[in-house]
Amino acid sequence: VLSIPQVHRAILEEGLRAPSAHNAQPWRFAVGSAGYELHYDHHDYLPFDPDDRDAYLCLGALIETLALAAQRHGQRMEFALGLERQGSDLFVGTFSFRAARPDEPVDPLAGPAADRHTNRRQYRRDPLPAALEAELGALGCTLVAPGAMATMVARASIHAWRDRRFVRDLRTWFHDDPTAPTGMTAEGLLLSRIETVALHLAFRAGRLPAPLATLYASRDVRLLRRAASVAVLGADDPGPAAMIEAGRRLLRAWVAVCAAGYAYHPISIALDRPETAPDVAGVAGVAHPVAVFRLGRPRRGAPRSNRRTLESALLPEAKGPAEPVGTCPGAASAR
Ligand SMILES: Cc1cc2nc3c(=O)[nH]c(=O)nc-3n(C[C@H](O)[C@H](O)[C@H](O)COP(=O)(O)O)c2cc1C
């Protein structure tokens, strides 16, 4: 029988608001003897994420979201990385909570983290405040002019829409039911009825012919050109531990942006495509770019995305560490 103290339950539930690519929410928790285990479920694998970059980033984002949520509840979280796998399960690590000491400072991002969300609307071109630029720089983000990134995103997007794996990934995680607990909906993606019909046509065709791919790509590019800036976040190396650490910084960057009254929208496609990823690295001068997002002052707020319940994210029992892993398993079998 699982027994979770009320304060931990509140933190875990708020942690589940962490961002993940396609809102796949690949994380699972297990109640262990000395705290909680964090696992990654490969059944929520994204075939278009063959290096598991998005998976590791969102695991890092989850860890940081949990750590900040803990602070809102007068607690502190300790996390120990495990990275061991068993079949389709990746044991990411263990975490525990303890009461904060009276003199322990509260992270300034703890409060604003509760309100973080992606905003895919159009932005104004108001320049970013210098303090925000400095904060993003300290978190390992390089800011690039939108124009410099637009041609790469256009090329990447056209390649993606012509690629069956990309379209299949999107089809897997796109749900017509606006209340679906995981995945993306037309409401969340701000698609009009016509755009939703067009997306279903793309799903049926499996990939798009070049002229249609160009048309689909133009939306991303238009939004990007109107942004105030584009950020490129780098990791120390392409290994799992460094990617998880980068995911923690990514989450902090996104919270800092929202806290300043600005908005962000990830554009992963430029890094997903082998045709454009090296150019992104070159333009930004970042050796291992792991995330690209546009930034600006939003014209309107964005809808709140759905989440799975805590119960559905809990594994029936703790699994503990098993065999060591270099990269995530499952890529070959899932593709
Ligand atoms: C690593 C990562 C990559 C993402 N890439 C994209 C992207 O390319 N395009 C996009 O619209 N959203 C992207 N997202 C945003 C997710 O779709 C979003 O976080 C999720 O739907 C939950 O919504 P929320 O961020 O508003 O809570 C990405 C998120 C993460 C963590």
Residue 326, pLDDT > 50, answer no
* Residue closest by Cα to atom 13 of ligand 1: 266
Q: What does the pLDDT read at residue 303? A: 93
Two tokens, residue 24: 């796949």
Q: What is the pLDDT of residues 16-33, one digit of tens each?
A: 999 999 999 999 999 987
Phi, psi of 295, rounded to the nearest 5 degrees: -135, 150
- Report percent pLDDT > 90 for the chain: 76
Q: What does the pLDDT read at residue 48? A: 66
The CA distance from 243 to 234, in Å, is: 9
Residue 45, Cα to own-chain centre: how many angstroms?
A: 14
Instruction: State which H helix or E strand residue 106 sits in.
Output: none
Q: What does the pLDDT read at residue 50? A: 67
Taking the model in full, what pTM does it have?
0.93
For the ranges 63-67, 228-232, 322-326, which has the lowest average pLDDT?
A: 322-326
Mean pLDDT across 154-158: 92
The CA distance from 81 to 240, in Å, is: 10
Q: What is the pLDDT of residues 270-325, one digit of tens each?
A: 999 999 999 999 999 999 999 999 999 999 999 999 999 999 999 988 876 644 44
- Average pLDDT over the chain reads 91
User: What is the CB < 6 Å shell around ligand 1?
Assistant: 19-23, 54, 57-58, 61, 117-118, 120, 184, 265-269, 305
Q: What is the pLDDT of residues 102-136, one digit of tens each?
A: 999 999 999 999 999 999 999 998 999 999 999 99
User: How close is the Cα of 224 to the center of ligand 1, in Å?
Assistant: 15
**Is the distance from CB of 255 to CB of 249 less than 8 angstroms?**
no
Pocket test for ligand 1, best of 65, 224, 268, 295 (most atoms within 8 A of CB): 268
Mean pLDDT across 164-178: 91
Two tokens, residue 19: 């961002």
Instruction: State which H helix or E strand residue 12 sits in.
Output: helix 6-15
**Is the distance from CB of 39 to CB of 90 less than 8 angstroms?**
yes
